[in-house]
Amino acid sequence: MSDRRVRVALVGGPMYDHLYDQLDPAEVDVVVHADHPTLNRAVAERLAAGERLDLIATHSKYAPSQARWLRDLAPLLDDEVIAPLAPGAVDLCRHEGRLLSLPRLIDVRVLWVRADRLPEAPATWEDLLSGQIRFGFPGSGSGLFGTFFELVVGAGGALFDAEGRPTMDGSHATEAVATLCRLATPAPDDLPTWQYDEVDAALLDGRIDAAGAWPGAWGAIRSSGLADRLEPHPYPAGPARWVSYAGCHSWAIPTTCGDLEGARELLVRLAGRDAHALDAAGGSLCAHRGALADVVPDGPVDERRLAITRRTIDEAMITYPPLVEFPAIEEAGWQAINAALRGEATPTEAVARIQDVAACVVGLGPRPRGDQP
């Protein structure tokens, strides 16, 4: 007897899992449920092998690398499904004219500060470097490369030039890695092992004085014993721009889908107001404009948090170019920067490694370095 359940691959974590309680095991077979890097690897292996996956969780920055396996959703969905979603979020999910995925959550960071420790919130990265503030940030994984991206762009630089050639060994990139190393010095020694959840935990355990947190962290902040001492502020600005690295968690239907109608029906439900309202209730910034508008702030701190987050989306959101090769660049990038945090490479050596990998994966080959260190 064949299993007619929709086969899905889901991203796991505190900001995602509350929605999955709404999935009926009699109708949905969860074949992958993991953090995003693990999810990406598992999905790539299964799709390359031709395995049936009907619906997958992905991200606007990763979907281009999965494009050969993803269906264009535009012909499958009525306008009434897409229209309520934030247009900017929908645009982030397009690649080369195809709607590769449908947005679920919009991610930008807000700075959370221990008001009892810091009389003034740091407004810039320079402010964070001027004293002995214990600032927490992801010391590994995609979050580390994202923080590097923010520092480069905030200083007026870019990871790629107008022709799409990597520019990751210039002065802005070197200074960004040096800044991360300086920020790590007063922080706990295990920071190079941290990803997003460890940053949030360190903030709520009192091990750091300030950290940038994604919207999904609000639930834990609100219920923590430090809730009365944590205040939200805009994410630190660079000397040239105020930016927050951003993107959209999203849903996609692979070409290996074996139940297209079942997958489409589930996607419509997950894109609807009720599903997005569940995400919004957990503190996340859902992509459904009506569901987000219905959110009633849980007091003045939450009202300020929402206002800062919406302003950041309107004014400061930056995202990576939609590159098929991006996951390889991100992986090499965070590992090189992590080596610098551990004292195993200089900032100059770290950005040289990133540049070489980026140049190779976009087909340019390593840049001749001459007498450069």
What the chain holds in terms of domains, given with CATH numbers, is 6-106+247-295 (3.40.190.10), 110-245+320-361 (3.40.190.10)
CB atoms within 10 A of CB 141: 21
Helix 141-154 × helix 326-341 angle, to 10°: 90
**Residue-wise pLDDT tens digits, 136-162:** 999 999 899 999 999 999 999 999 988
Q: Where residue 286 falls among pLDDT bands split at 50, 70, 90? A: very high
Q: What is the pTM of this model?
A: 0.83
**Residue-wise pLDDT tens digits, 171-230:** 999 999 999 999 999 999 999 999 988 999 999 999 999 999 988 888 889 999 999 999
Helix 141-154 × helix 171-184 angle, to 10°: 120
Q: Of 240, 273, 355, which Cα lies nearest the Cα of 80?
A: 273
Strand order, beta sheet including 110-114: 135-136, 210-213, 110-114, 230-233
pLDDT at 2: 52
The residue written with tokens 């991200």 in the block is 59
Euclidean distance between CA atoms 179 and 41, whole angstroms? 31
Report the mean per-residue pLDDT for the chain: 91
**Residue-wise pLDDT tens digits, 294-350:** 988 889 999 999 999 989 988 888 888 877 888 889 999 999 999 999 999 999 999
Tokens of 162: 């107008």
Q: Of 160, 150, 107, 100, which Cα lies nearest the Cα of 326?
A: 160
CB distance 211 to 236 below 8 Å: no
DSSP 51: -
Euclidean distance between CA atoms 301 and 362, whole angstroms? 45
Euclidean distance between CA atoms 98 and 75, whole angstroms? 10
H or E stretch covering 305? helix 300-315
What proportion of the chain, given as a percentage, has pLDDT over 70? Answer: 97
User: Mean pLDDT over residues 25-34, rounded?
Assistant: 96
